[in-house]
């Protein structure tokens, strides 16, 4: 039976079909709509992020029609894609649209389900729902795929199709033969391809016809164009140092006889854009890579071959580690791979700049491993060997170059999450890392939510001896960082900021003992450690039990002092809670104030235009928008207590809280850097919230009640004539 046969799925089993479409700026017109340009982000999607295997296939042109080749009748592409531990059946419907300049554009709508052998199911569902063409207004709900029962029906192939089965792929079905997508899919199943199924239906031309096994042309003219393109593709040999030279280099690597000339040959070949991943996979599979992956043989040559494939084809790295991740043999197998890696390093030296193309492939492989490890935590041991060794190719590349890029990108994410553009990201050239960063966005939006699935990354980065990303993912997954790691990234005692989030040190037994027994307390004006104080209390208690008459009337004062001393045991926890509030002040209030100033931008422009000399403002106010905004923010927060007086001139009940903070005490430029100034501002906000009967936590949120109240109050200050009487 063909491995891609639909019979592999049980009849009646549930099928979840996701979808997404090309992202465009939609411009309504009298006759419908047109494209105002591509946004670069998919739209109308039921899943986020797009699976890595599918995203990469799209990037590599696996679904692409030749530009301008779509017709008024939609074309279709059916393909099975695998990689990153995933398998997907995908159908792409290609519709012709036009942009706002009247030019034709090809627009794609993708339907996919997480298994191979299910293209028939997608097609039958599309037929029953009469759905498929690109529709920018057909909004989808994230996380809610289409659901349908799997129903397989036999599709007998007519004789003219069976006569084509023995031909060499890609096979172009004559346009004179009647065909539909279900028949074309059934025909492709018969071709016994070693890779996933791939067909194209009703197409005028294809970007890469050799990427398909079966093609049904739009008409006779399209058939001729497609056949000519296939002949040109098979006849042309890509400009490269030569098949023989590359094969020689590969065989030398497999046999452990690596020379500098062999590595330079591979480096040069990787620089050729025509030698894509499909070329390398086919070439290495001819050397036995696919057979080795499916077989039980773990010889040195086999390990060298698959290590080489992981170097040259980055998406294969997770598969290689999964293959080598045999619990009882992992160490010995990886040592054999490490021998091969070390041999290359010894030849070329440890400077990644000497091999820019290989270095890029190594970095992309690591970036593909990171999201894979989140979904497959059982791979941690193998991944730790990969990045933790001192003599490996990947670990060397990670330490020399990639880790600083990852740290840079993590450091920019808070600003990116809150809308800042044109940031200097460094590793987002790798789509695997770019997609993964997108998945991390909620960390900065909801910093208090623990995401346990990221714990393997914390452990991986710790093994790789890069403490900052390790600490970051410990905080994200566990809500705290163990003591030894915390002090590698911070010189503070308990809390700090890292990559735009608050990090907190874990309290261990030593801390508890120190707090309970050895922290200093003041007893009756005498400083002593707590252990001494506890012993003193015990003595007093015993003496009191033996003879109460020994204790004078001063015992009442002593008991009060004892109560006060015991109360100090909770002081450390109070300090921690204070730091948590300050962290929220940074994480939530800072972006909220930036948003508030943006919301008031027009009001500020109007105020400065009407008051160019700053009439009515104190001389020290900076007459720029930010300076005026800060001035009126401080004015509103520290509103004079006279304004809160009742009709009889007396202050209301909360006047003591209102008078806590004065205008000059708020240091706007320092309050996010220094806790003492942050605490002052928090008190001012809390007092403002109490005056306005708002939840009084001292924090401003970007979409909360406090920011709305502030916007109204500051607007009234900027434009007093507009305030209703």
Tell me the pLDDT tens digit for each residue of 512-535: 555 555 555 554 555 555 556 556
Q: What is the pLDDT of residue 658?
A: 42
**Exposed (0-12), middle (13-18) or buried (19+): which is 153, by Cβ within 10 Å?**
exposed
Radius of gyration from C-alpha coordinates of the chain: 34
The answer to whether residue 170 sits within a structural domain is yes
Residues 231 and 248 in one domain: no
Higher pLDDT, 617 or 471: 471
The answer to whether residue 252 sits within a structural domain is yes
How far is 432 from 402, CA to CA, in rounded Å?
14
Q: Is 438 helix (H, G, I), strand (E, B) or coil?
A: helix
Q: What is the pLDDT of residue 437?
A: 92
Residues 35 and 72 in one domain: yes
The answer to whether residue 360 sits within a structural domain is yes
The answer to whether residue 355 sits within a structural domain is yes
Higher pLDDT, 411 or 720: 411
Residues 227 and 251 in one domain: no
Q: What is the pLDDT of residue 508?
A: 64
Mean of the per-residue pLDDT values of the chain? 81
The answer to whether residue 482 sits within a structural domain is no
| Pair type for strands 214-217 and 198-203 | parallel
Distance set, CA 365 to CA 276, 307, 419, 476 (Å): 15, 12, 29, 24
Tell me: pLDDT of 239 over 50.
no
Q: What is the pLDDT of residue 682?
A: 92
Task: Check: CB of residue 380 under 8 Å from CB of residue 326.
Answer: no
Distance set, CA 437 to CA 119, 177, 441, 467, 677 (Å): 31, 48, 7, 19, 33
Question: Model confidence over 42-88: pLDDT tens digits?
Answer: 899 999 899 888 887 887 678 888 765 445 688 999 998 876 678 89
Mean pLDDT of 718-725: 63
Question: Model confidence over 437-456: pLDDT tens digits?
Answer: 988 988 887 767 788 999 99
Q: What is the pLDDT of residue 351?
A: 63
Q: How many CB atoms within 10 Å of residue 277?
A: 16
Q: How confident is the model at residue 653 (pLDDT cuts 50, 70, 90)?
A: very low
Higher pLDDT, 653 or 504: 504
Task: Check: CB of residue 264 under 8 Å from CB of residue 300.
Answer: no
Q: What is the pLDDT of residue 282?
A: 84
How far is 575 from 464, CA to CA, in rounded Å?
33
Q: How far is CA 540 from the centre of its chain?
A: 60
Residues 343 and 376 in one domain: yes
Q: Which among 338, 273, 80 has a CA at the least distance from the CA of 191? A: 80
Tell me: pLDDT of 221 over 50.
yes
Q: Which among 382, 364, 498, 483 has a CA at the least distance from the CA of 431? A: 364
Residues 78 and 156 in one domain: yes
Whether the bond between 502 and the residue before it is cis, its omega within 30 degrees of 0, is no
The answer to whether residue 667 sits within a structural domain is yes
Q: Which of 400, 428, 463 is the last residue of a domain?
A: 400
Residues 164 and 250 in one domain: no
Task: Report the predicted TM-score, pTM, of the whole model to 2 decimal places.
Answer: 0.48
The answer to whether residue 286 sits within a structural domain is yes
Q: How confident is the model at residue 122 (pLDDT cuts 50, 70, 90)?
A: very high
Task: Check: CB of residue 489 under 8 Å from CB of residue 461.
Answer: no
Backbone angles phi, psi at 63, to 5 degrees: -115, 5
- Which residues 6+ apart lie within 8 Å of 487 measured at CB? 505
Q: Which of 186, 211, 235 is the last residue of a domain?
A: 235
Residues 649 and 702 in one domain: yes
End-to-end CA distance of the chain: 84
Residues 249 and 313 in one domain: yes
How far is 17 from 147, CA to CA, in rounded Å?
6
Number of domains in the chain: 3
CA-based torsion, 134, 140, 143, 146: positive or negative: negative
Residues 277 and 295 in one domain: yes
Residues 210 and 61 in one domain: yes
Q: Which of 209, 235, 261 is the last residue of a domain?
A: 235
Mean pLDDT of 302-327: 91
Question: Model confidence over 571-610: pLDDT tens digits?
Answer: 555 666 777 788 888 888 999 999 999 999 989 988 888 8
The answer to whether residue 509 sits within a structural domain is no
Q: Domain range spanning residue 704? A: 573-722
Residues 209 and 261 in one domain: no
Tell me: pLDDT of 647 over 50.
no
Residues 128 and 271 in one domain: no
E strands, 170-303, where? 171-172, 198-203, 214-217
Q: Which among 446, 453, 463, 450 has a CA at the least distance from the CA of 371? A: 453
């Amino acid at each position: 039976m063909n491995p891609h046969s639909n019979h592999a799925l049980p009849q009646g089993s549930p099928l979840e079909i996701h979808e997404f479409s090309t992202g465009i700026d939609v411009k309504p017109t009298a006759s419908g709509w047109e494209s105002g340009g591509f946004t670069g982000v998919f739209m109308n999607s039921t899943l986020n992020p797009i699976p890595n295997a599918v995203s990469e296939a799209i990037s590599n042109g696996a679904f692409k029609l030749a530009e301008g080749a779509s017709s008024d009748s939609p074309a279709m592409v059916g393909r099975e894609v695998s990689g990153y531990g995933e398998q997907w059946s995908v159908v792409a419907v290609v519709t012709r649209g036009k942009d706002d300049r009247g030019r034709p554009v090809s627009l794609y709508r993708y339907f996919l389900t997480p298994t191979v052998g299910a293209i028939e199911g997608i097609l039958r569902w599309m037929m029953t729902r009469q759905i498929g063409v690109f529709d920018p207004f057909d909004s989808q709900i994230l996380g809610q795929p289409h659901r349908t029962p799997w129903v397989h029906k036999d599709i007998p192939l007519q004789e003219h199709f069976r006569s084509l089965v023995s031909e060499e792929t890609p096979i172009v079905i004559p346009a004179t033969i009647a065909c539909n997508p279900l028949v074309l899919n059934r025909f492709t199943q018969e071709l016994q391809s070693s890779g996933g199924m791939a067909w194209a239906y009703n197409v005028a031309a294809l970007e890469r016809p050799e990427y398909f096994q079966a093609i049904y042309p739009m008409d006779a003219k399209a058939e001729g164009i497609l056949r000519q393109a296939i002949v040109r593709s098979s006849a042309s040999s890509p400009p490269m140092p030569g098949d023989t030279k590359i094969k020689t280099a590969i065989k030398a690597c497999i046999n452990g006889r690596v020379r500098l000339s062999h590595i330079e040959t591979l480096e040069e070949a990787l620089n050729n854009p025509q030698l894509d991943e499909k070329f390398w996979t086919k070439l290495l599979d001819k050397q036995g890579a696919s057979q080795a992956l499916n077989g039980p043989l773990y010889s040195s040559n086999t390990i060298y071959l698959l290590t080489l494939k992981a170097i040259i084809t980055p998406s294969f790295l997770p598969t290689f580690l999964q293959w080598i991740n045999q619990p009882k043999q992992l160490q010995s197998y990886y040592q054999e791979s490490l021998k091969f890696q070390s041999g290359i390093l010894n030849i070329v030296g440890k400077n990644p700049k000497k091999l820019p193309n290989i270095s890029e492939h190594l970095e992309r492989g690591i970036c593909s491993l990171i999201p894979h490890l989140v979904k497959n935590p059982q791979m941690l041991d193998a991944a730790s060997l990969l990045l933790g060794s001192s003599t490996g190719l990947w670990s060397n590349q990670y330490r020399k170059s990639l880790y600083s890029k990852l740290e840079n990108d993590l450091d920019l994410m808070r600003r990116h999450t809150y809308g800042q553009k044109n940031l200097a990201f460094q590793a987002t050239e790798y789509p695997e890392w770019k997609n993964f960063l997108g998945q991390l966005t909620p960390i900065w939006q909801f910093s208090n939510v623990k995401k346990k699935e990221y714990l393997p990354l914390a452990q991986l980065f710790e093994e790789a001896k890069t403490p900052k990303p390790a600490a970051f993912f410990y905080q994200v997954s566990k809500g705290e960082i163990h003591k030894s790691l915390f002090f590698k990234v911070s010189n503070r005692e308990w809390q700090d900021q890292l990559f735009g989030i608050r990090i907190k040190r874990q309290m261990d037994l030593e801390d508890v003992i120190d707090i309970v027994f050895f922290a200093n307390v003041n007893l009756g004006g005498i400083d002593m450690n707590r252990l001494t104080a506890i012993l003193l209390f015990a003595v007093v208690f015993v003496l009191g039990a033996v003879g109460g008459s020994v204790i004078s009337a001063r015992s009442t004062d002593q008991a009060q002092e004892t109560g006060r001393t015991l109360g100090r045991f909770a002081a450390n926890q109070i300090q921690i809670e204070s730091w948590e509030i300050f962290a929220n002040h940074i994480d939530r209030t800072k972006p909220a104030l930036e948003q508030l100033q943006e919301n008031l931008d027009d009001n500020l422009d109007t105020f400065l235009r009407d008051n160019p000399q700053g009439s009515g403002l104190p001389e020290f106010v900076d007459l720029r928008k930010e300076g005026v905004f800060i001035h009126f923010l401080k004015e509103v927060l520290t509103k004079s207590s006279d304004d809160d007086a009742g009709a009889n001139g007396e202050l209301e009940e909360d006047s003591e809280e209102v008078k806590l903070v004065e205008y000059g005490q708020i240091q706007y430029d320092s309050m996010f850097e220094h806790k003492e100034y942050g605490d002052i501002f928090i008190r001012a906000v809390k007092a403002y919230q109490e005056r306005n009967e708002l939840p009084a936590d001292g924090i401003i949120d970007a979409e909360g009640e406090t920011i709305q109240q502030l916007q109204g109050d500051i607007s009234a200050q900027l434009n007093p004539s507009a305030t209703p009487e």
